[in-house]
């Protein structure tokens, strides 16, 4: 209590202790006010109005956005409040696709739960008569705008926590929707497939893309040998769907359940994590000795890798070339294990059970495809595998525990902690310390890199030098850190990045609610599992040692590099067609296109395109576009110029970029619009060829 301050909630005195809003105080009083748009880790939005309460002398207020004041008298359950809440639910249902029985979120839908809780038994309003298309383009999530209640949770998660912002509100009034830019599909924009939007969505508007049917098809195919690998974070979360608390280790029950479902072999991804530690440590110590490509960034998180490819292509060489544990396992299984079984790689069907939706994208990357055969055929999230267990009628709670199969079922504690933020860095430290010092590491716990803080820093002395580390989770926090590194304000040797808050324990495919409290408990469960195993360092795993002796030779050697490493490169921002600008110079009926530069095939026009992809947009491309419109009009060239927005000229590090009749000019700031008109557009409109002859000379001119 602070200075004896308190408020009265439904007749109960509740002390104030630094709470930021009434909702927190009311929940402290043991009253669970309903909300849709409130998340303690996101900004206060106050749109859904479900948390309405009556303040004596102040009327109705939204509890989430109202700060508490000493002496306030609050009533949470008056007749007026209850009636308004039911009306809000009715209005939401009236604008909602009510195919609840076939919805992916049925049984776990907040709208469904609150309708039942508040006693809404009928909807007195009609249903919406317009069905918007469902976006299934993404490998990670499905977006159904017909089930969206406009709470804005996904918008704020993507923008505030992940720092990407591929979703936002568009249009006005009854036409308002949450959509990617220009109503593009999710696969066409900068989505990194982390699935955090689906993790916070209270309805079925954003859900994990299910591959359960494909998994059943493979299991029932007599020609396929189907094997599973289970990620570390799954074992401390899957039990939540069966009444177990977050963090309780259910490894043995998962293995038993998958065997009953029909998997031929069940292995542990933690084994591949040990393999990753060996490769990443060898790579790291080599870079450290040479002082090259530092800091080394971890490569286990596919959402982070795609984020770097899109936004920080200059740092891509610093990312470890090691494949993720998922892809190392797939490679070893297809290249070596299939051979030992006497079957073709295409007849060995590898299914990953992961906490992560981005793993679905990763498994499809062409880098992890050999001769048309994927190293990992299918990825099931924790949510999907629990659905398969329930579909099979298995009583999960009553299962006797079972053990992983050999040879890939044995792992060290270092491999287990990969599933929580800081775990990869700690696992590498356990190996790197011994490699650098030549001494056995007695205390394997590096507690400095543990915890759920978005950024942790540590310095470890090993081999006569200090190793500087940073551990970051959440891509918004990663962006802040990378910017500091790029500006020279921070310097590290090793940086671990996980896209999801808390690391893999908070993955987009984990059970909901995926709260901070749940993530903390799952993380503690992994550290407890680490303590329970006898071998806690990857280099002590005898199966890994045997694998090198039999197939891979040595860590980071020639054979290991072919099987366990890869390469990444810059990735274009947004793909798709040009965008027509109605009412602008050159737009409208008969305007030319980027392909032909003509108007109805009769009047030749200068084709001018401004890239509005993410990188150029962040550098002011829209202001460039507007200034070009003004300058073209001022120059009297509107009838001779086809001016439009487009994506993407692949000059992302030099934007904003403008194309004039196919010639790309980079570094065009808004104040240079007039310069572009006079030096490039006007000569082309007059039929002159006096503009610079190459984009590189244009770059130089712009710099001058």
Enzyme catalytic residues: 280, 283, 300, 320, 359, 362, 367, 504
- The token pair at 130 is 């317009």
Taking the chain, what is the end-to-end CA distance rounded to the nearest angstrom?
63
Burial of 466 (0-12, 13-18, 19+ CB in 10 A): exposed
At a CB cut-off of 8 Å and minimum separation 6, what does 241 contact? 383, 386, 390, 396, 511
- The CA-based angle 292-294-298, given to 5 degrees, is 125
| Helix %, strand %, coil % of the chain (to 5) | 45, 15, 40
For residue 221, what is the DSSP state?
Answer: -
At a CB cut-off of 8 Å and minimum separation 6, what does 545 contact? none
How far is the C-alpha of 491 from the C-alpha of 302, rounded, in Å? 24
Cα distances (angstroms) measured from residue 618 to each of 57, 410, 486, 654: 46, 47, 17, 12
How far is the C-alpha of 59 from the C-alpha of 67, rounded, in Å? 15
145 neighbors 132 (Cβ within 8 angstroms): yes
413 neighbors 384 (Cβ within 8 angstroms): no
Task: Give φ, ψ of 529 to 5 degrees.
Answer: -65, -35
597 neighbors 642 (Cβ within 8 angstroms): yes
The arrangement of strands across the sheet holding 455-462 comes to 296-297, 494-498, 465-473, 455-462
The DSSP bridge partners found for residue 74 are 9, 55
Number of C-beta neighbours around residue 484 at 10 A? 14
153: enclosing H helix or E strand: helix 153-156
Largest CA distance in the chain: 82
């Amino acid at each position: 209590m602070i200075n004896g301050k308190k408020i009265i909630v439904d007749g109960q005195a509740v002390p104030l202790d630094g709470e930021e809003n009434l909702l927190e105080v009311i929940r402290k009083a043991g009253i669970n006010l309903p909300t849709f748009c409130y998340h303690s880790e996101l900004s206060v939005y106050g749109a859904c109005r479900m948390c309405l309460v009556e303040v004596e002398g102040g009327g109705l207020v939204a509890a989430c956005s109202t700060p508490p004041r000493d002496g306030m008298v609050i009533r949470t359950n008056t007749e007026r409040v209850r009636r308004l809440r039911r009306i809000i639910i009715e209005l939401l249902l009236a604008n909602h696709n009510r195919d609840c029985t076939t919805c992916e979120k049925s049984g776990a839908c907040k709208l469904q739960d609150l309708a039942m809780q508040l006693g809404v038994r009928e909807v007195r309003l009609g249903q919406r008569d317009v069905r918007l298309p469902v976006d299934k383009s993404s490998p990670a999530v499905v977006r159904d705008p017909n089930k969206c209640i406009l709470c804005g949770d996904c918008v704020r998660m993507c923008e505030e926590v992940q720092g990407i912002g591929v979703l936002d509100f568009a249009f006005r009034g009854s036409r308002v929707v949450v959509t990617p830019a220009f109503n593009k599909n999710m696969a066409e924009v900068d989505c990194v497939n982390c699935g955090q939007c689906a993790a916070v969505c209270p309805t079925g508007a954003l859900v994990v893309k299910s591959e359960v049917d494909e998994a059943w098809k493979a299991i029932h195919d007599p020609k396929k040998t189907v094997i599973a690998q289970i990620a570390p974070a799954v074992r401390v979360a899957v039990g939540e769907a069966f009444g177990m608390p977050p963090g309780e280790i259910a490894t043995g029950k998962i293995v038993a359940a998958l065997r009953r479902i029909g998997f031929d072999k069940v292995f542990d991804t933690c084994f591949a994590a040990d393999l990753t530690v060996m490769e990443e440590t060898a790579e790291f110590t080599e870079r450290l000795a040479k002082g090259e490509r530092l800091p080394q960034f971890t490569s286990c998180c596919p959402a982070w890798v795609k984020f770097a490819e899109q936004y920080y292509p200059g740092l891509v060489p610093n990312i470890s070339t090691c494949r993720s544990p998922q892809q190392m396992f797939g490679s070893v299984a297809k290249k070596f294990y299939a051979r030992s079984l006497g079957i073709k790689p295409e007849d060995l069907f590898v299914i990953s059970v992961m906490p992560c939706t981005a793993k679905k994208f990763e498994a499809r990357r062409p880098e992890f495809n050999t001769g048309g055969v994927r190293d990992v055929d299918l990825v099931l999230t924790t949510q999907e595998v629990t659905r398969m267990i329930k579909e099979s009628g298995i009583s999960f709670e009553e299962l006797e525990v079972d053990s992983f199969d050999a040879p890939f079922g044995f792992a060290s504690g270092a491999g287990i902690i990969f599933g929580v933020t800081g775990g990869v860095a700690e696992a590498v430290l356990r190996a790197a310390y011994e490699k650098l010092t030549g001494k056995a590491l007695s205390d394997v716990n590096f507690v400095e890199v543990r915890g759920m803080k978005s950024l942790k820093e540590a310095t470890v002395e090993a081999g006569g030098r200090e190793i500087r580390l940073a551990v970051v989770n959440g891509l918004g926090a990663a962006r802040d850190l990378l910017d500091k590194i790029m500006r020279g304000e921070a310097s590290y040797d090793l940086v671990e990045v996980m896209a999801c808050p808390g690391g893999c324990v908070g993955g987009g495919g984990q059970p909901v609610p995926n709260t901070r409290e749940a993530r903390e408990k799952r993380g503690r469960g992994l550290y407890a599992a680490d303590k329970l195993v006898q071998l806690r360092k990857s280099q002590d795993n005898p199966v890994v040692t045997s694998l090198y002796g039999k197939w891979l030779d040595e860590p980071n050697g020639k054979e290991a590099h072919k099987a366990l490493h890869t390469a990444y490169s810059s990735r274009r921002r947004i793909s798709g067609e040009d965008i027509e600008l109605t009412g602008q110079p050159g737009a409208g009926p008969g305007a030319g296109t980027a392909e032909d530069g003509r108007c109805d095939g009769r009047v030749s026009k200068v084709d001018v395109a401004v890239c509005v992809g993410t990188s150029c947009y962040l550098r002011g491309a829209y202001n460039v576009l507007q200034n070009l419109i003004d300058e073209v009009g001022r120059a009297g060239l509107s009838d001779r110029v086809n001016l439009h927005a487009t994506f993407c000229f692949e000059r992302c590090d030099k934007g904003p970029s403008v194309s004039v009749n196919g010639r790309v000019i980079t570094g065009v700031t808004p104040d240079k619009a007039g310069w572009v008109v006079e030096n490039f557009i006007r000569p082309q409109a007059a039929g002159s060829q006096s503009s610079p002859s190459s984009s590189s000379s244009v770059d130089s001119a712009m710099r001058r």
